[in-house]
Each structure stands twice: as C-alpha cells, then as structure tokens.
C-alpha cells in the first residue's frame, strides 16, 4: 500500500488550516524552512503543486484540497483517540474483578491503607464466581485459586505473591488422623468445577476421606459451614487467617505453599494506567506484610 510521506502530513495539515507556512511552523515548533521543505517534498512525491500563493499566505490547490479532505478528518480522529487514551491513563477509577470471599475477607479490610495513599481513587469491585468475568469488564482480575487452574504460559499475569492451601475444621469436629490421612464425617465444598481435593492430594500426598460432602455456592459459605462444625474444608490461608489466629479453626497439616500463585490479570482496557500500577504495587507490599 502506497502512502504519502507521513512525517510531512502535520506540516501540510497545519498549513492548510492556518493558510501560512510561517504560522504552521510556529504551531509545530519548526522553522519556516523545514515546513517549506516538507511541503515541497510532498508536492514532488504527488507530482502536483499542493499550494498556491495568495497575498502573504498560501491556499491549497484543487489537488491540495482533495488531499486535505482526507488528511484533516484523520488528524482530528487521531487527536480525539489520543486525548481519550491520555484521559484513561490519568483516570481515578479502577475496576477490579475479584471473588466475593477474597474481597470480603482479605482485600476490603486492607483498602483503607490504599485510599490513604490515593485519596482521589475510586476502586469498583466486580464479583467473579461460577462464570468468570471477561477482560473488557475490568482493568485487573485478581486470581488466587491455583488448585483449580494454573497460570500456564499467560503473559498478562502480574505475579503478586504466594498462595497457601490447607485442610481446616472446627476444633470440636470429630476427626481421625493417621499419618498423611484425615478422616471426617463430611467435607464442605464449593459448587465449582475442578477437582481441588484431588489436586491438593497430588501436590501434598495428604488424603482426606469422608462419608459425604455438602456443597455451597460461595467460598464464604463453605467457611461459615466449617466454623459451625459441619465438616472440613480446603481453603486458601488468607481467607481464614483470623479464625486460625483465634482458634476457631485448626489446620492439622498446615498449609501447602504455591510460589507466585497470587496474581493479577492485567487486561487490555487500561494496561498503562498509573492507578493500575499504584494498585499493583500496593498489593505487592500488602503481600510482603502478610507473609
């Protein structure tokens, strides 16, 4: 595809719009000679004169006006698109895709520290769950459930820290532990696809046997059921840190750590937004403090 010399088009467009090469040079921060040379080169490449003298200025010839009819709207569209991009990069609004349980139990209690640093910021939570939200719906999607799916070779993941999974239950729950095996009456599980218990056993060698299981639609309901003594659950450590600290839950085998398992999918919406970078850097600091 043949195009005119693109570096000459700003000089051409400004001269058409202002009716003067000198005025165009001043607007573009160039010398009169540089603008005149670029327009002469453009005319040479076209094989036709693009301007004619009128008094102390110039005006486009019939051929120059034909080119200007295409160039000027293109420049206006480029300017509008660039302005929108710059506005996005300086936006104070950030849309975060995150699971309800993770938001309630780990992220939300920490958000005041983020707002202290970024008082003008507006972080909007978009809940993930059975149906994963799509990239255009959020600027970042936080992900931590490495027992259900791995990052693989995705290049749009920013690694934020480790994750750790373990079997937990209420202290009064009747259990039997023999070596690397735990037997309980019931397991509390979440209604999501993926064999998380099988993956945990594969990674750790720890098995759990139960006569039955009860499924709940949300992880926070799984945790509440576990606190009530309904069964044992397999959870990420962040989600039950307070219950472990005050003894309402116990983890008989501790937690299996998966390095760099906590990450953020950086979508194509606003990848270079300064607020996005600030939020990611803050999350990394919170991770260092947590661990």
- Residue 120 CA to residue 114 CA, distance in Å, equals 11
- As a whole number, mean pLDDT of residues 189-196 equals 85
Q: What is the pLDDT of residue 188?
A: 93
CA 157 to chain centre: 8
Sign of the Cα torsion 160, 92, 274, 139 reads positive
Q: pLDDT tier at 128 (50, 70, 90 boundaries)?
A: confident
- Residue 247 CA to residue 171 CA, distance in Å, equals 8
- As a whole number, mean pLDDT of residues 244-266 equals 92
- Residue 70 CA to residue 68 CA, distance in Å, equals 5
Q: Name the strands in the sheet holding 157-168, side by side, starting at the edge strand that comes first in the sequence.
A: 122-128, 93-99, 140-143, 256-266, 157-168, 233-236
Q: What is the pLDDT of residue 244?
A: 95
- Residue 129 CA to residue 141 CA, distance in Å, equals 12
196: its two tokens: 């998380």
Q: What is the pLDDT of residue 251?
A: 93
Q: pLDDT tier at 241 (50, 70, 90 boundaries)?
A: very high
Q: What is the pLDDT of residue 130?
A: 53
For the stretch 55-95, pLDDT in tens is 888 898 998 889 889 888 888 888 877 766 665 555 678 88
For residue 52, count other CB atoms closer than 10 A to its CB.
11
285: its two tokens: 């600091």
Q: What is the pLDDT of residue 291?
A: 59
Q: What is the pLDDT of residue 111?
A: 92
Q: Is 109 helix (H, G, I), strand (E, B) or coil?
A: helix
Q: Is 179 helix (H, G, I), strand (E, B) or coil?
A: coil
Sign of the Cα torsion 173, 145, 124, 108 reads positive
Sign of the Cα torsion 164, 170, 173, 179 reads positive
124: its two tokens: 């909007």
Question: Which of 131 and 194 is assigned the larger pLDDT?
Answer: 194
Q: pLDDT tier at 150 (50, 70, 90 boundaries)?
A: confident
Q: Pairing relation of β-strands 93-99 and 181-190?
A: unpaired
Q: Taking 60 as the threshold, does the pLDDT of residue 272 lie above it?
A: no
- Residue 220 CA to residue 217 CA, distance in Å, equals 9
- As a whole number, mean pLDDT of residues 188-198 equals 87
Q: What is the DSSP string of 118-155?
A: -TT-EEEEEEESSSPPPGGG-SEEEE--TTT---TT-S
Q: What is the pLDDT of residue 25?
A: 87
Place of tokens 């001043």: 26
Q: pLDDT tier at 155 (50, 70, 90 boundaries)?
A: confident
- 3-state per-residue secondary structure call for 207-259: EEEEEEEEEECCHHHHHHHHHCCCCEEEEEHHHHHHHHHCCCCECCCCCEEEE
Sign of the Cα torsion 41, 47, 51, 52 reads positive
Q: What is the pLDDT of residue 157?
A: 86
Q: What is the pLDDT of residue 208?
A: 86
Over the chain, what is the mean pLDDT? 85
Q: pLDDT tier at 237 (50, 70, 90 boundaries)?
A: very high
Contact 17, 28 (CB under 8 A): no
Give phi and psi for 154, each to the nearest 5.
Answer: -60, 135
Question: Which of 233 and 291 is assigned the larger pLDDT?
Answer: 233
Q: pLDDT tier at 203 (50, 70, 90 boundaries)?
A: very high
**Candidate from 165-174, 193-202, 246-255, 266-275 with smallest mean pLDDT:** 266-275
Domains within the chain, CATH numbers bracketed? 6-89 (1.10.10.10), 92-291 (3.40.190.290)
Q: Calculate what percentage of the chain has a pLDDT beyond 90.
A: 31
Q: What is the pLDDT of residue 129?
A: 61
- As a whole number, mean pLDDT of residues 174-183 equals 85
């Amino acid at each position: 595809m043949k195009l005119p010399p693109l570096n000459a088009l700003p000089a051409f467009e400004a001269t058409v719009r202002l009716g003067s090469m000198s005025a165009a040079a001043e607007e573009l921060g160039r010398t009169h000679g540089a603008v005149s040379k670029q327009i002469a080169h453009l005319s040479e490449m076209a094989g036709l004169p693009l301007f004619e003298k009128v008094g102390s200025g110039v005006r486009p010839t019939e051929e120059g006006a034909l080119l200007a009819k295409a160039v000027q709207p293109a420049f206006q569209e480029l300017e509008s698109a660039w302005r929108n991009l710059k506005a996005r990069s300086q936006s104070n609004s950030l849309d975060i895709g995150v699971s309800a349980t993770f938001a309630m139990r780990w992220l939300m209690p920490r958000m005041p520290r983020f707002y202290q640093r970024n008082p003008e910021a507006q972080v909007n939570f978009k809940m993930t769950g059975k149906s994963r939200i799509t990239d255009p719906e959020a600027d970042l999607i936080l992900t931590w459930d490495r027992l259900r799916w791995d990052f693989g070779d995705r290049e749009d993941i920013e690694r934020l820290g480790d994750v750790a999974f373990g079997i937990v239950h209420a202290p009064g729950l009747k259990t039997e532990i023999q070596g690397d095996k735990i037997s309980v009456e019931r397991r509390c599980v979440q209604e999501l696809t993926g064999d998380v218990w099988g993956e945990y056993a594969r990674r750790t060698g720890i098995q759990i046997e139960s006569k039955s299981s009860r499924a709940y639609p949300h992880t926070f309901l799984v945790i509440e059921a576990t606190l009530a003594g309904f069964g044992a659950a397999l959870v990420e450590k962040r989600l039950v840190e307070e219950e472990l600290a005050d003894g309402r839950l116990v983890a008989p085998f501790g937690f299996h750590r998966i390095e760099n398992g906590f990450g953020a999918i950086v979508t194509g919406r606003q990848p270079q937004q300064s607020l996005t970078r600030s939020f990611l850097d803050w999350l990394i600091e919170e991770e260092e403090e947590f661990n």
